[in-house]
Amino acid sequence: MFTLNCKGKIIKIETPVVMGIINATPDSFYEGHLSLEHDGILALAKKMIDDGARILDIGGQSSRPGSKRISAEDEIKRVIPVVKNIRAAFPQSIISVDTYQSAVARAAVAEGADMINDISAGEMDREMIPTVASLQVPYVCMHMKGIPETMQLDPVYDDVVKEVLDFFIAKTNECRRAGITDVIIDPGFGFGKTISHNFTLLEQLDLFSLLGKPLLAGLSRKSTIYRTLNISPQDALNGTTVLNTIAIQNGASILRVHDVKEAVQVISLMNAYKKPLPG
């Protein structure tokens, strides 16, 4: 079991939990979350909570391959109203903010966010890890080879699992030295990795349990699914469910998804499979 202290709200991860994705961006790769205005975002947040999401992850900057980064000021303008509105409407919710900029992290936590999700693990803003340590919130630490603008041009590894694991050994030590108590690791499916790299990481995901940290799997509607199946992201829910099932089987503690209900069903069935009910 893992325990996360989210500004006094405690998440006990005795069984996997779901993190719902809320994109406050005009250029998400998944069209299902585009152009959500105030009421639409609150409706989406309510649906995710009702469907069983334990965490809502709000992102104001696209990190899809080839995306262009925006300034911290512009990201704050996108993210902070969403954080404030969700916090006001759903005071008991756990809000994560997906950002690699320390200024955004600081502003988001000040307005009610409980957790920071950083695709760069502090590599794109060297102030991020000390900032999160000072804020005393959980930190999702993701592996990414390169930067979003160029990460998928030609990613090469001698041994992708070893290199990602070595990265996390060093990075979790850095977080511990800085004073971050709760670190969650994310191998970064699709971030500077080929489809083959992603499947290798998924197959050997259980090796990351050596780190003794909660493991987040972000596979939802990604290109590993839709390119393998020759479909669109909009048609990739079934494939997402399959890979989420494998991720849980191999030790994932958190599923980061666009489709909460289906991910919760995966967890319920996996729990029943491991501990069949009487009769």
Between the alpha carbon of residue 232 and those of residues 46, 63, 174, 185, the distances in Å are: 26, 18, 39, 28
Find residue 54's DSSP bridge partners.
none
DSSP string, 214-274: -BEE--TT-HHHHHHHT--GGG-HHHHHHHHHHHHHTT-SEEEES-HHHHHHHHHHHHHHH
222 is catalytic: yes
Beta bridge mates, 18: 255
d(CA 7, CA 73): 25
Give the count of beta carbons closer than 10 Å to the beta carbon of residue 183.
Answer: 23
Helix 195-203 and helix 237-249, axial crossing angle in degrees, nearest 10:
40
C-alpha to C-alpha distances, 151 to 15, 143, 157, 188, nearest whole angstrom: 33, 11, 13, 11
Token duo for residue 279: 């009769």
Q: Quick check: is 256 catalytic?
A: yes
Contact 67, 32 (CB under 8 A): no
Helices (H), 34-159: 38-51, 72-89, 102-110, 128-135
The strand pairing partners of 95, in sequence order, are 56
- Catalytic pick among 12, 64, 222, 227: 222
Looking at 78, 256, 261, 274, which residue is catalytic? 256
Q: How many residues does the chain have?
A: 279
Annotated catalytic sites, by residue?
Answer: 222, 256
